[in-house]
Amino acid sequence: MSSRIALDEMFDLDLALTMPEDSTAEVSKRQPDAESMAAARHLVDEMPTVVVGCGGQCSVCMEGFGGAGKQVQCGHVFHENCISRWLSLHNSCPLCRSKVVS
Protein backbone atom coordinates (compact mmCIF):
# COMPACT_ATOMS: atom_id res chain seq x y z
CA MET A 1 0.00 0.00 0.00
CA SER A 2 2.81 2.43 0.80
CA SER A 3 4.28 1.97 -2.70
CA ARG A 4 0.95 3.05 -4.19
CA ILE A 5 0.97 6.24 -2.14
CA ALA A 6 4.52 6.97 -3.21
CA LEU A 7 3.54 6.38 -6.84
CA ASP A 8 0.54 8.73 -6.50
CA GLU A 9 2.77 11.38 -4.95
CA MET A 10 5.23 10.97 -7.80
CA PHE A 11 2.51 11.62 -10.38
CA ASP A 12 1.35 14.70 -8.46
CA LEU A 13 4.92 16.00 -8.42
CA ASP A 14 5.24 15.30 -12.14
CA LEU A 15 2.04 17.24 -12.79
CA ALA A 16 3.19 20.15 -10.66
CA LEU A 17 6.53 20.32 -12.45
CA THR A 18 5.02 20.29 -15.93
CA MET A 19 2.09 22.66 -15.41
CA PRO A 20 2.19 26.21 -16.73
CA GLU A 21 2.32 28.99 -14.16
CA ASP A 22 -1.44 29.34 -13.97
CA SER A 23 -3.13 26.26 -12.58
CA THR A 24 -5.55 24.12 -14.55
CA ALA A 25 -8.37 25.29 -12.29
CA GLU A 26 -7.71 28.88 -13.31
CA VAL A 27 -7.37 27.95 -16.98
CA SER A 28 -10.63 26.00 -17.00
CA LYS A 29 -12.46 28.95 -15.41
CA ARG A 30 -11.44 31.27 -18.24
CA GLN A 31 -14.21 31.83 -20.70
CA PRO A 32 -13.56 33.74 -23.89
CA ASP A 33 -15.63 36.86 -24.42
CA ALA A 34 -17.45 37.56 -27.67
CA GLU A 35 -14.76 39.96 -28.89
CA SER A 36 -11.89 37.49 -28.42
CA MET A 37 -13.93 34.69 -30.01
CA ALA A 38 -14.65 36.88 -33.05
CA ALA A 39 -10.98 37.84 -33.37
CA ALA A 40 -9.90 34.20 -33.08
CA ARG A 41 -12.50 33.10 -35.63
CA HIS A 42 -11.24 35.75 -38.08
CA LEU A 43 -7.66 34.59 -37.56
CA VAL A 44 -8.62 30.94 -38.10
CA ASP A 45 -10.57 31.83 -41.26
CA GLU A 46 -7.30 33.20 -42.67
CA MET A 47 -5.41 29.95 -41.93
CA PRO A 48 -5.03 27.40 -44.72
CA THR A 49 -7.38 24.42 -44.67
CA VAL A 50 -5.47 21.19 -45.19
CA VAL A 51 -6.56 17.62 -45.84
CA VAL A 52 -5.57 15.28 -43.03
CA GLY A 53 -4.89 11.62 -43.78
CA CYS A 54 -6.38 8.66 -41.96
CA GLY A 55 -5.23 8.39 -38.38
CA GLY A 56 -4.75 12.12 -37.96
CA GLN A 57 -5.83 13.44 -34.58
CA CYS A 58 -6.50 16.94 -33.25
CA SER A 59 -4.21 17.51 -30.28
CA VAL A 60 -6.70 19.82 -28.57
CA CYS A 61 -9.70 17.47 -28.38
CA MET A 62 -7.89 14.20 -29.19
CA GLU A 63 -10.57 13.32 -31.79
CA GLY A 64 -9.89 12.20 -35.34
CA PHE A 65 -10.17 14.63 -38.23
CA GLY A 66 -13.13 14.43 -40.56
CA GLY A 67 -10.81 14.97 -43.50
CA ALA A 68 -9.72 18.59 -43.07
CA GLY A 69 -8.21 20.86 -40.45
CA LYS A 70 -6.76 24.33 -40.04
CA GLN A 71 -2.98 24.71 -40.20
CA VAL A 72 -1.25 27.14 -37.83
CA GLN A 73 1.87 29.04 -39.00
CA CYS A 74 4.16 26.52 -37.27
CA GLY A 75 2.63 23.70 -39.32
CA HIS A 76 0.47 22.00 -36.68
CA VAL A 77 -3.11 21.17 -37.67
CA PHE A 78 -6.26 21.30 -35.52
CA HIS A 79 -10.03 21.22 -35.87
CA GLU A 80 -11.33 24.66 -36.79
CA ASN A 81 -13.49 24.97 -33.66
CA CYS A 82 -10.71 23.66 -31.39
CA ILE A 83 -8.08 26.12 -32.57
CA SER A 84 -10.61 29.00 -32.54
CA ARG A 85 -11.46 28.38 -28.90
CA TRP A 86 -7.78 27.95 -28.00
CA LEU A 87 -6.76 31.18 -29.74
CA SER A 88 -9.53 33.11 -28.02
CA LEU A 89 -7.69 32.39 -24.75
CA HIS A 90 -4.04 32.03 -25.84
CA ASN A 91 -1.71 33.59 -28.39
CA SER A 92 0.23 30.43 -29.17
CA CYS A 93 0.10 27.01 -30.79
CA PRO A 94 -1.31 24.43 -28.34
CA LEU A 95 1.55 22.04 -29.16
CA CYS A 96 4.77 24.00 -29.59
CA ARG A 97 3.70 27.31 -28.01
CA SER A 98 5.03 29.34 -30.93
CA LYS A 99 3.32 32.72 -31.25
CA VAL A 100 0.38 32.73 -33.60
CA VAL A 101 -0.34 36.48 -33.61
CA SER A 102 2.48 38.99 -33.58
- Whole-number pLDDT of residue 37: 83
Q: Does the pTM exceed 0.75?
A: no
Q: Going from the N-terminus, what domains does the chain have, and what CATH number goes with each?
A: 2-89 (3.30.40)
- 22-48: b (≥16 Cβ within 10 Å) or e: eeeeeeeeeebeeeebebbbebbeebe
Can you list the residues of the chain whose pLDDT is less than 50?
1-2, 23-24, 27
| pLDDT of res. 17 | 59
Question: Looking at residue 22, what is its pLDDT?
Answer: 52
Please tell me the distance from the alpha carbon of residue 8 to that of residue 43, in angstroms, as a whole number. Answer: 41
Distance CA(10)–CA(42), nearest Å, equals 42
* Cα distance between residue 73 and residue 65, in whole Å: 19
pLDDT tens-place string over residues 12-34: 555 555 656 554 455 455 677 78
DSSP letter at 63 equals: P
Instruction: Let me know: does 52 contact 68? Beta carbons within 8 Å.
Output: yes
pLDDT at residue number 101: 74
CA distance 100 to 94: 10
Whole-number pLDDT of residue 38: 86
